[in-house]
Structure formats: structure tokens, C-alpha cells
Structure 1
Amino acid sequence: MTPHREEPVPHPPDPPIYRDLLHRWAGAGRTLPGRRDHEWNRLAAAPAWTGGTARVSGTPARRGDGR
């Protein structure tokens, strides 16, 4: 058997209401489907540990309290 190539699926254009909505969201600096989210990239790239202190903790328990 020869591997078959997948044909790209044609996508119909978005209805005008969606195009207008995406245009408004883009103008307001919001995240849009199918586009990179620069704020998420910045947050995800930041180190979790700075200066020996955790920025995020998975539990309110203090170290050594037996939990």
C-alpha cells in the first residue's frame, strides 16, 4: 500500500459578523483564535523561581508542617 496524501480541507470564509468581531477584538488587543498570544508566551517563558522564593505555590501548607 502506498501512503495516501491528505488533501487540505477547504474552509468556507467566515460570515461577516465573525470577521467584524475578530476585527474588533484585534483592535482591542485581545487574543484571537489561530493567532499567537504574546502575553501567554511572555508569562509561560518567565522563570517560576526568582530570588529563592516561589512565585506560585500548589498548596498553602508551610514547609515542614507534616502535610
Structure 2
Amino acid sequence: MKPPAPADPPIYRDVLSLWASQGRTLPGHRDQEWTRLAAGPVWADRTVRVSGTLVRPGDGR
């Protein structure tokens, strides 16, 4: 029988809590922004938001 995994140190729990409160992607969880962006058609000539930044078609940043 395998021994239980040790608990994460408090600093990791605090970082995960902070990231979750800011809406960031967490390890082991789906990235909702990626899912939304990947679901759109690649030929869309529309303006989309990526991480809160307005991106216009053809803007090669």
C-alpha cells in the first residue's frame, strides 16, 4: 500500500488561493479562457479579448 501524499506546504495553498481569487488558471483545472478561444472559428474577423487585452485582427503582437 502506498503512503498518502504529504500535504502541500502553506505557501502553495496561499498561492493557489490567490490565483483562484484572481480568476487565474490553476494546476489540475481546465483553462476556461483557452477553452473559449479554441472554440471560436479560426476565420473569425472580429475583435476578441485575450486576458483582458483588446486584440484586433491582424494585430501581430
TM range (shorter): 0.5 to 0.7
Q: What is the aligned-residue RMSD (CA, Å)?
A: 2.5
Q: Partner amino acid for 1:50? A: A
Q: CA deviation at 1:38?
A: 0.5
Cα distance, 1:15–1:47 mapped onto 2, change above 3 Å: same
Cα distance, 1:47–1:12 mapped onto 2, change above 3 Å: same
- Tell which structure's C-alpha radius of gyration is larger: 1
SS for the counterpart of 2:29 is coil
Q: CA deviation at 1:50?
A: 2.9
Gaps of 5+ in 2: 46-56
Q: How does 1:1-20 map to 2 (within 5 A)?
A: 10-20=4-14
Q: CA deviation at 1:19?
A: 0.2
Q: CA deviation at 1:11?
A: 2.7
Gaps of 5+ in 1: 1-6, 57-67
Aligned length: 47
Cα distance, 1:47–1:9 mapped onto 2, change above 3 Å: farther
Q: So what's the TM-score if we normalise by structure 2?
A: 0.62
Q: So what's the TM-score if we normalise by structure 1?
A: 0.57
Q: Distance in 2 between matches of 1:30 and 1:19?
A: 14
